[in-house]
Structure formats: C-alpha cells, structure tokens
Structure 1
Amino acid sequence: TVSKAAVHQYMRCLATQVQSSGIRVNCIAPGPTLTERYKRNIGTDQGVTGRPEHVANAVIQLLNMDFVHGQTIRVDGGEQTFTS
C-alpha cells in the first residue's frame, strides 16, 4: 500500500541522514499477526498468520546484527513472496 511504501521510504531517508553518527535504522514489517485484536476482528486463523513471538524474535535478531542498516525486514511467513 501507499502508506507502507511511505514508511519504508521514510526509514531509508532517516537511515541515510544518521548513518554517519553510528545510528542504525531498520524497519520491521509484520504480516498478519494473531493478536487479541486480530482474533476479535477476523475470528479464526486465515492460514498464514504469525504470532507476536515471530515479530519479537525478528526484533531481537535485528538488534544483534550490527552490519544491517536501512533495511525493511518482512515477518510475514513468506506472504510477500507468494503474492508478488
């Protein structure tokens, strides 16, 4: 969507601006995630649905990768791969 593209581009611009200060900027882009709100709105699991732990694990991994900068990490169970 346009809003996701805008967030991605903003992150890349910010990453470029602060890189010389040693600050890393990355983005986590989760797919459908089985939260309480998701359960209320959708009701049942619709197939490829992640858990909050999947997103948390991606954040932890990203924090440990000091050579990753200006990237969007998709945590979507491969959904982006299958719909492209």
Structure 2
Amino acid sequence: MAISVRLCSGRTAFEVSTNTKIDLIKASSIVQAKIATKHLMLLNYNGVEISMYPSGRMIIKAQSKEESLDIARNLLTRLGLHEAGNN
C-alpha cells in the first residue's frame, strides 16, 4: 500500500494519502466515529482528531509527520486495510 504524508495548507494537520478505498460506513462499525457518512468520517483515534474520506485520504491533527504516519498505519491495520509491519 502506498502512503504519503504532507503538511496541510493551514499547517494545523497532516494530509495522509493512500491508494486504498475505504468503506466509511463499514469502518465506523469497527472504530467509534463521531460522525460517519459514506462521504466523511470524523473520529478521535487515540486522542488525535482524524477526518477520513472514501478515497483513502485522511486529515490527521498530529504533532509531526512521523506521528501522523504511525496513526494512519495503525488505524488502517485496525480496519483490516493494512498489514501490521508492512510499509
């Protein structure tokens, strides 16, 4: 799975892009979401605010690029979309 990370234009979060489509309604049954529609899912994952989109894009309000990448990988693994230890 390809994952890329860049600082958002507002500099308050990181944009993580993947090449994996995400069924947000199904994902919301695995993790506790604040809001879940087929177009957007908002959640607080391990104390970090995340916005997820069906394209595999995520906006993660983490402190660093590395932290946002770790959070994205952990979340995708929990959703069954990424194998643990696989970069």
Per the shorter chain, which TM-score range?
Answer: 0.3 to 0.5
Give the greater-gyration-radius structure (CA).
1
Report the TM-score, using the length of structure 2 for normalisation: 0.32
Richer in helix (by share):
1
